[in-house]
Chain A
Amino acid sequence: DAGITQSPRHKVTETGTPVTLRCHQTENHRYMYWYRQDPGHGLRLIHYSYGVKDTDKGEVSDGYSVSRSKTEDFLLTLESATSSQTSVYFCAISQNPPTYYNEQFFGPGTRLTVL
């Protein structure tokens, strides 16, 4: 999976609790992305980063925040988890954004269940 790890791989939590998912890359790629995958919706972009401390919102960013203090790490935080955030979360990296031809590489995913 192109030098991308995600932790934890599985997590069960309760409504209202904070949750942080971590994405770690060893490729030194500049761009990093968080997606969620839900049946019938494909993958939807939550947040992305185009450099250290440079982040922006995707199409489904409500209820999520991100941080990137180092090139290799991109954290996704659910401040107060809700059942609607039960999903599989994927991190992806890209050396340049796809508008410059390069494809994204995906991590193995984190399955999050909010009870």
Chain B
Amino acid sequence: AQSVAQPEDQVNVAEGNPLTVKCTYSVSGNPYLFWYVQYPNRGLQFLLKYITGDNLVKGSYGFEAEFNKSQTSFHLKKPSALVSDSALYFCAVSPLGSSNTGKLIFGQGTTLQVKP
């Protein structure tokens, strides 16, 4: 079955330190990969996506993500965390071959807590 896993329910980092939010996937073929962020009482906001090409993708708010095909991972990173980065982060995958469906498979989410 196709799935996305975010192995950590919560990640705690100190402000100014680098952060990593982990995501691994299990889908057939080469998927398109996305990261979204959700602030309290808000909808999801798109951060970045990997389609093809360079394995390091840069997105909004200084975030980046590294695609690793051999490890089937797409970890979200930021060199220096801000308190305002505290939110719920979702990894999502769109499997190739699901044309005309638009289906996204989401991970269960990781809460990022950045402390001053």
> Would you call B71 an interface residue if the criterion is a C-beta within 8 Å of the partner chain's C-beta atoms?
no
Q: Known contacts A42-B90, A43-B44, A108-B43; decide if A97 and B107 are in contact (CB<8 Å).
A: no
In the complex, the answer to whether A97 meets B102 with C-beta atoms within 8 Å is: yes
In the complex, the answer to whether A106 meets B101 with C-beta atoms within 8 Å is: no
Q: Known contacts A90-B44, A99-B96; decide if A48 and B101 are in contact (CB<8 Å).
A: yes
Q: Known contacts A48-B101, A48-B103, A50-B100; decide if A101 and B43 are in contact (CB<8 Å).
A: no
> Would you call B70 an interface residue if the criterion is a C-beta within 8 Å of the partner chain's C-beta atoms?
no
User: Among B11-19, B45-53, B74-82, which stretch is in contact with chain A?
Assistant: B45-53
Within 8 Å by CB of B32, from A42, A43, A48, A98, lies: A98
In the complex, the answer to whether B43 meets A45 with C-beta atoms within 8 Å is: no
In the complex, the answer to whether B32 meets A56 with C-beta atoms within 8 Å is: no
> Measured between C-beta atoms, what is the minimum distance from B82 to chain A in Å?
22
> Measured between C-beta atoms, what is the minimum distance from A81 to chain B in Å?
22
> Would you call B42 an interface residue if the criterion is a C-beta within 8 Å of the partner chain's C-beta atoms?
yes
Q: Known contacts A42-B109, A103-B34; decide if A31 and B43 are in contact (CB<8 Å).
A: no
> Measured between C-beta atoms, what is the minimum distance from B94 to chain A in Å?
4
Interface residues of B (CB under 8 A from A): 4, 6, 32, 34, 36, 41-46, 49, 51, 90, 92, 94, 96, 98-104, 106-109
Given A43-B104, A97-B98, 6 additional A-B pairs, CB 8 A: A42-B109, A43-B90, A45-B104, A97-B102, A99-B99, A106-B36
Interface residues of A (CB under 8 A from B): 1, 4, 31, 33, 40-45, 48, 50, 56, 58, 90, 92, 94, 97-99, 101, 103-109
Please give me the 9 A-B residue pairs with the lowest Cβ-Cβ distance, nearest first.
A97-B102, A106-B43, A98-B94, A42-B106, A106-B44, A103-B46, A43-B106, A42-B108, A31-B102
